Structure 1
Amino acid sequence: MLSLILPGPSTVRAQIPKSLDSLEIYVQTHTPTDTNYVIALNELGNLITRKKADYNRADSILHRAESIARRLHFGRGMYRANTNMGSNYFLSNRPQQTLESLRKALSIAEDYKFDTRTIARALTNLGTAYRKANQYEQSIEAYLRSLRMQEQYNLQPRNEDTYNGIGLTLKDMHRPHAAIGYLQQAFALNQAQKNPYGMAICEQNIGKCYDDLGQPAKALSYYKSARSHAKEAESELLQSDILVNTGLVLRKLKRFDEARQAIEQALAISRKQENQSAMATDYFNLGQVYEEQKDYKLAERYMKQALALANEQDDKPKIAIYTQGLADLYGGMKDFQQAYVYQLERNQKIDSTTTIRTNAEVQRLITKYATEKKEAQIKLLRQEAQLRQQETQRIQLLLLGSILLLLLVAVGSAWLLNRSKLRRLEEAQNLRQQIAHDLHDEVGSTLSSISMLSGHTDRLLSQNRPESAQKMVQKIYTDARQILESVDEIIWTINPGNDSLHRIALRLQEYAQPLMETKAIDFRFSVDASLDRHPVSMEVRRNLYLIGKEAINNLVKYSQATQATVRFELKERQLQVVVEDNGRGFVQDAINSRNGQASMKQRAEAIGGSLNIQSTPEQGTRLVVTTSIT
């Protein structure tokens, strides 16, 4: 699995060439006495890694760049050399050296007091290295430190690798729907930067998520686009990885000839580059294709070749996978003695208790980050309230000075200001009560449940009952995910940046899209462009979102529709939110007691609007929320 590890902002001068051949000539014909030479070496090493996969030569060039940069006290050159070395070690499957290089890069960035964006990028790179080494707790911690820094300093555009890394971690935690959202954000950032290499990686990872969700057609479409971008980036190594994943999906679809062709193309690239790690992956996947076709002799040959290469590299995760694969193969061949030998070897490499504890700790870190983010929002609200109060006091002082000139006007102004202040205080108090109520209802009980389940998990682990403990951990995952979603909704509701109807519409679209996909519903979403000019209060925003969310949930659960539409329309200063489907409908007289209609109607009335539901059996349902806007 490839992940993007790129250096920070470039300081490459205009006279340094860009192409691989031109850089080769440049470093051969120039004297290594200035920073330009260091920059050229870094560019050359990075290109040799990505386009040639000649990892040993790239390593030698990058060490030379670091040595010259150190002699010149060129901090940026030292940082880039270590970052590029980390990328080189990452792609050549040397996780420990990857970690060492990227830790050193972060230390250099901090010691030389680099800009905040570079330090945040160095943290993201380190998170990717930890994830490659299967150290998910440290990986999540590094990613979240980077994300906090980007949010604290409002760095724009955001680092695409941070979102990509979080997405892949969520995928590893069996949350592909959530992962796709982060990976799509990473793709959009790469697309804006016209980075085909990064676009290819994001598309490949999205394809893997759809593969996990059992949607092979979508997975193949993303792999096809990813390979096109990998060709544009001239990265044979990435093309090889994409071909392997294409072959895996085709194998699931029983399209064995196509699967074998794709994997053999990947193997040809791996052999050309003498990339033993990739060759091992290709051999094993080719063996599995032959196993599906009952050609056990070829399957055994290729799987053993894969295991031999993994043993040569001491790649423990691959050794465990390939050993299990051979055990399953011999079981299918009815050679139970050999199957037992390989299964026993596989079991000796697994520590399920450690895996359970690691996954639980990763979830704890994500929950902690969400809580910290919520606390930061509350702190910001308090600071804004203090600033408003100070501003009010300054205005009052100015008014007092004008009393001698116009007493009646001053008294009237003071009365208006006091009334405005009282209204603001009431609004602040209501906001605090709303936040406290939401936190208590949405988060408090679930956290208590997680605490109890965690204690029970510890007892199960101490009793050597890892399977039961795993079930508890899965429940903790589910509860923690609910907390994340609830806290995210609370934060979104109180964020002043979301005070527009257009933002409400986008939020509902993000919520509805994955739900519609799970039911294979052809979903269309339209928003009147003029809505972005209309701010709305927190109460209106919250109620509109919850009405839309309830309507979408009902549509997905009960309608059995194949088509659905959500529209935000502006008609004569009236906002209409329309949710329609072509589903089975229902009898109008029965709707009062089902599907949360009473709750939706109360919310519509709370914002001065109305709710109208029209439905006919077998002819679909149409829900319209109407309210006035200023």
Structure 2
Amino acid sequence: MFSFLTNPLKHSCSLLSVILSLILAGISPVLAQVPKSLDSLETYVRTHTPTDTNYVIALNELGNQLTRKKADYDRADSVLHLAESIARRLNFGRGMYRANTNMGSNYYLSNRPQQTLESLRKAHTIAEAYKLDTRTIARALTNLGTAYRNAHQFEKSIEVYLRSLRMQEQYNLQPRNEDTYNGIGLALKDMHRTQEAISYFKQALTLNQALKNAYGIAICEQNIGKCYDDLEQPAKALSYYKSARSHAREAESELLQSDILVNTGLALRKAKRFDEARQAIEQALVISRKQENQSAMATDYFNLGQVYEEQKDYKLAERYMKQALSLANALDDKPKIAIYTQGLANLYGGMKDFQQAYVYQLERNQEIDSTTTVRTNAEVQRLITKYETEKKEAQIKLLRQEAQLRQQETQRTRLLLIGSVLLLLLVGVASAWLLNRSKLRRLEEAHRLRQQIAHDLHDEVGSTLSSISMLSGHTDTLLSQNKPESAQKMVQKIYTDARQILESVDEIIWTINPGNDSLHRIALRLQEYAQPLMEAKGIRFHFTVDPALANFLVSMEKRRNLYLIGKEGITNLIKYSQASEASVRFEQKDQQVRVLIEDNGQGFVQAQYSLRTGQTSMQQRAKAMGGSLEVRSAPKQGTRLVVTTFIN
């Protein structure tokens, strides 16, 4: 039914097959008595008395045209609510169905997903309650599937779409509803199952071609083009966009032409054909201005700014991006505000105006949840990293001071013990021997701890610091040779290495902290590591811990090995699984703890398990703590990793 663009920088009103769905929504009776043009409809509803079904039909058609031709969403909403009210009074089921379907279209295009879902759910209920024809009920299901997709409930969306398809097949409805195939394709595309999506889009294209429906053909071709764009095949994408635009012109849909032009511009920008990209987006902007569609204008301005940024024309880039942000603020469009402030932060970073970059970065961070903060331009992040590094250095300094104090306290304790031994020598040599033995064990433990910290700092930090030192010297050389782009890459590498050092030091501090001795603390640490990574990848994540584990303590070495195995397993899942759902469970049985990491991803052939996943290292760590590691996987059947070890 409706199109939903997954790229927030593209138009939010691509319409997809809105128009065709509404035309076929089913108002066959006495339609000839109702005018069809917008002006005639305005006159009709103004001059006729709202007493019959024709008036409801006219109101529905007027609301539909106000939505798709004028983008006057507020007035369309009022007209359609009036149509529903009169239809209910007349007990005109088809009119009520049509009003709610058109309201769903209106809410969809004005970016109100919850209201879209409510209206289309109601439309489906009305269609069944009034026993409307089977084709209308199947179409209502298709529309409802689109509403679920718009609300990001992709699995539910596909389930409802397939119900519609089964109904069409059961009753042999001909021709099949091409919007159903389009909807399944869009849901699959949103789930990153791009090749499957193309298959459904092509089935929808075949149906539209049979109907000679230029608008529907344009929609399908644009969707296929976007899939090839996602697959990094720009030549194929541009070919489909070109054909789609031709059919959109044939259908006389300016809004659809504008949408296709924006997608064309983005593909051309990817292909570094900046002049052509700019021309395509400027043509889209002309249409957006003509339609007075401020949301679309904001999108066009921002995309133009990004093209100019690629060409290093920073003045024009700044101008257009600020225009985009101004419009987004006027519309209070929070997702776009977040995107545009991030874009300006990146732009000022490229301009070496780090003060402005930092200002916009702070604005961006206020617009999004702290767990999903996106990494900005390398130079801007360098400012933040510098602060974080100084904070970690202060923590390390404090740790060293505490170690020195403990050493001094140990020395004082030694003197006191020696004095005590001398004083108590007469009491008994046995007591003195026991005290010395206890003291020696504590000193040995302290010595082993210091050795472990020194070893970890050398392995985790030493080599990386050396790398940073070498890269810093190379960066100075590149700058002196007037090679800023190469220097920028060196700075990015320095930033990555510095972040790695911070993470390593943080893990060392966490490992030696006696407050983290419980299994429950290990579980919380892994959850803190995994949650933002899963969210960034769009993976539904479930994390459960047996409450009984809060009562069990483990040694520092076992705690470190268990955490690192879990971290490695989660990292592999994020990098290679391509999963949509994953879980981590901590379970306790008898005197053993089991950690299970599972996903529904692409799996692998275990005999060909790659060394890059660190399986050998994980096996060694499991063996070192007296436990075991089991990995089960098969192609297309996900992966299951189980770590088992004794608690004591």
**TM class, shorter-length:** 0.5 to 0.7
> Could you say which residue in structure 2 is the equivalent of 1:319?
337
Q: TM-score, normalised by structure 1?
A: 0.55
| Deviates further, 311-320 or 269-278 | 311-320
Compared CA separation, residues 20 and 190, structure 1 to 2 (3 A): farther
Letter of the structure 2 residue corresponding to residue 4 of structure 1: S
Give the secondary-structure state (helix, strand or coil) at the position aligned to 2:218.
helix
Judge conservation of contact 2:328–2:337 (CA < 8 Å) in 1.
yes
Compared CA separation, residues 137 and 39, structure 1 to 2 (3 A): same
Give 1:326 shift. 2.2
1:23 matches 2:41: yes
Compared CA separation, residues 140 and 27, structure 1 to 2 (3 A): same
Judge conservation of contact 2:533–2:574 (CA < 8 Å) in 1.
no
1:180 matches 2:198: yes
Report matched runs for 1:359-374 at 5 Å: 359-360=538-539
> Could you say which residue in structure 2 is the equivalent of 1:45?
63
1:209 matches 2:231: no
Report matched runs for 1:69-108 at 5 Å: 69-108=87-126
Indicate which of 309, 313, 320 corresponds to 2:327. Answer: 309
> Could you say which residue in structure 1 is the equivalent of 2:392?
none
Give the secondary-structure state (helix, strand or coil) at the position aligned to 1:93.
coil
Indicate which of 173, 188, 195 corresponds to 1:170. Answer: 188
> Could you say which residue in structure 2 is the equivalent of 1:9?
26
Letter of the structure 1 residue corresponding to residue 69 of structure 2: K
**CA–CA separation in structure 1 for the residues paired with 2:81 and 2:152:** 27
> Could you say which residue in structure 2 is the equivalent of 1:277?
295
1:261 matches 2:279: yes
Judge conservation of contact 2:538–2:580 (CA < 8 Å) in 1.
no
**CA–CA separation in structure 1 for the residues paired with 2:82 and 2:34:** 18
1:474 matches 2:491: no
Judge conservation of contact 2:154–2:191 (CA < 8 Å) in 1.
no
Task: In structure 2, list runs of 5 or more residues that go unmatched.
Answer: 6-13, 373-530, 542-562, 583-598, 604-648
Compared CA separation, residues 84 and 225, structure 1 to 2 (3 A): same
**CA–CA separation in structure 2 for the residues paired with 1:328 and 1:465:** 33
Compared CA separation, residues 108 and 125, structure 1 to 2 (3 A): same
Give 1:247 shift. 1.3
Q: Deviations over 1:134-159 (max 9, x none)?
A: 34344334334433443454443322
Indicate which of 12, 23, 33 corresponds to 2:51. Answer: 33
State the identity %.
Answer: 78
> Could you say which residue in structure 2 is the equivalent of 1:140?
158
**CA–CA separation in structure 1 for the residues paired with 2:209 and 2:37:** 22
**CA–CA separation in structure 2 for the residues paired with 1:241 and 1:62:** 26
Compared CA separation, residues 136 and 313, structure 1 to 2 (3 A): farther
Compared CA separation, residues 460 and 221, structure 1 to 2 (3 A): farther
**CA–CA separation in structure 2 for the residues paired with 1:462 and 1:267:** 50
Judge conservation of contact 1:460–1:468 (CA < 8 Å) in 2.
no
Judge conservation of contact 1:12–1:39 (CA < 8 Å) in 2.
no
Compared CA separation, residues 140 and 311, structure 1 to 2 (3 A): farther
Report matched runs for 1:80-479 at 5 Å: 80-343=98-361, 346=364, 349=368, 353=531, 356=534, 359-360=538-539, 469-471=573-575, 473-474=577-578
Judge conservation of contact 1:51–1:234 (CA < 8 Å) in 2.
no
Compared CA separation, residues 11 and 249, structure 1 to 2 (3 A): same
Compared CA separation, residues 134 and 73, structure 1 to 2 (3 A): same
Q: Deviations over 1:80-108 (max 9, x none)?
A: 11111111222222323322322221222
1:66 matches 2:79: no
Give 1:217 shift. 2.7
Judge conservation of contact 2:154–2:187 (CA < 8 Å) in 1.
yes
Compared CA separation, residues 294 and 153, structure 1 to 2 (3 A): same
Compared CA separation, residues 67 and 21, structure 1 to 2 (3 A): same
Larger radius of gyration: 2
Letter of the structure 2 residue corresponding to residue 11 of structure 1: S
Compared CA separation, residues 23 and 466, structure 1 to 2 (3 A): farther
Give 1:198 shift. 2.0
Letter of the structure 2 residue corresponding to residue 471 of structure 1: K
Judge conservation of contact 2:578–2:601 (CA < 8 Å) in 1.
no
Letter of the structure 1 residue corresponding to residue 179 of structure 2: D
Give 1:470 shift. 2.7
Judge conservation of contact 1:137–1:361 (CA < 8 Å) in 2.
no
Give 1:469 shift. 4.6
Q: TM-score, normalised by structure 2?
A: 0.54
Task: In structure 1, list runs of 5 or more residues that go unmatched.
Answer: 363-458, 484-630
RMSD, aligned CA: 3.3
Compared CA separation, residues 134 and 307, structure 1 to 2 (3 A): farther
Judge conservation of contact 1:164–1:186 (CA < 8 Å) in 2.
yes
Judge conservation of contact 1:163–1:186 (CA < 8 Å) in 2.
yes
Compared CA separation, residues 319 and 124, structure 1 to 2 (3 A): farther
Compared CA separation, residues 121 and 242, structure 1 to 2 (3 A): same
Judge conservation of contact 1:92–1:277 (CA < 8 Å) in 2.
no
